[in-house]
Structure 1
Amino acid sequence: MSILVLEQFFPYQLTHLQALVTDNIAQIYTGQFDLSPQQWRVLAVLGNNELLTAKEISVRANLEKMPTSRAISGLLTQKLLVKSVHDGDKRCSLLNLTKKGQDLYQQLVPLALKREQELLSVLNEKEQAQIQLIFKKLAKQAKQLKSN
């Protein structure tokens, strides 16, 4: 008979770590900046000034359609995003950060990157490179297993 020790089960460990890291980073954008996790992800995706549709944002931010829509709506209300008509498809809108949104992004990014470095500071450079490689390998394997 097989026994599952949840605390040693890789998917559980990964989910647990993801929640801890997310909560840690969330302290930055939820507190002082009053953004939801979904709004932060939309803001982060649009931070490079690329015009994207809500669907493209959803894919890049790894969010479902409804949370993406709510996040976009909130950011539009706060005047952090601007919506324009897609030249190729009039039914589709393109989204981008406003000047206010870009300013907020520029305030948040250094804080998020600093926190990332604080989290990773327990790993040396070699370990940080290894974890990146491990993440890539696991993502590739998960995609292959999913498609089988």
Structure 2
Amino acid sequence: MSALKLDQFLPYRLSIASNRVSSAIASAYQALFALKIPEWRLIAVIAETQGLTQQALGVATRMDKVTVSRAAIALVDRGLVQRRPNPDDRRSHLLSLTAAGQTLYESVAPKALELEAQVFAGFTADEIATFRAMLERLEASAAPLDPEQA
């Protein structure tokens, strides 16, 4: 059996790379739009739907309930997201973007794509396609091991 060397342990390296990219993006979102990463994730996911519950947002973003709740409260307080009754479940609300939230999304989305392009500028289109495919396979192979998926 070989010894664990953290710098060669792929889950660790994946986490470090993810943290580094997230940190760079978080700095840009905070400086330009006064958004934290969880807030941006909620805005982006909500923008792709007609409204979601906080529980559905947690599943979609893979963030815990407390993080989703805090981000949702901050966005509602800023007037970027509104809560409306859920016709399918009276105990929950659907979150949707306000006009101001939609305008913000339309400003942030191009910046997000620009940041992605900067991060991957040193990669060929084929490398990026391969990386996307590998990420999908990695997520699929890790899903059965995830206690939250059970």
* Band the TM-score falls in, shorter-chain normalisation: over 0.9
Residue 9 of structure 2: aligned partner? 9
Residue 30 of structure 1: aligned partner? 30
- Structure 1, residues 11-34: CA drift from partner, whole Å, max 9, x if none? 110000000110111122111211
Large movers: runs of 4+ above 6 Å: none
Residue 107 of structure 1: aligned partner? 107
CA RMSD of aligned residues (A): 1.6
Residue 41 of structure 2: aligned partner? 41
- Structure 1, residues 42-99: CA drift from partner, whole Å, max 9, x if none? 1111122421001001111111001100000000000000111011211110110000
Residue 98 of structure 1: aligned partner? 98
- Rounded Cα–Cα distance in structure 1 between residues aligned with 2:51 and 2:15: 31
Residues 103 and 126 from structure 1, CA distance in 2 versus in 1: closer, same or farther, beyond 3 angstroms? same
Contact conserved, 1:49 with 1:97, CA < 8 A, in 2? no
Contact conserved, 1:28 with 1:112, CA < 8 A, in 2? no
- Rounded Cα–Cα distance in structure 2 between residues aligned with 1:122 and 1:46: 31
Structure 2: 5+ residue stretches without partners: none
Contact conserved, 1:42 with 1:72, CA < 8 A, in 2? yes
Q: How many residues align?
A: 148
Deviates most, 65-74 or 83-92:
83-92
Residues 68 and 145 from structure 1, CA distance in 2 versus in 1: closer, same or farther, beyond 3 angstroms? closer
% same residue = 32
Contact conserved, 1:53 with 1:93, CA < 8 A, in 2? yes
Structure 1: 5+ residue stretches without partners: none
Deviation of residue 145 (structure 1)? 4.3
- Rounded Cα–Cα distance in structure 2 between residues aligned with 1:86 and 1:98: 16
- Rounded Cα–Cα distance in structure 2 between residues aligned with 1:21 and 1:93: 32
TM-score by length of structure 1 reads: 0.94
Query: Is 1:73 matched with 2:56?
Result: no
Per the alignment, in what secondary structure is the counterpart of residue 32 of structure 1? helix
- Rounded Cα–Cα distance in structure 1 between residues aligned with 2:145 and 2:78: 41
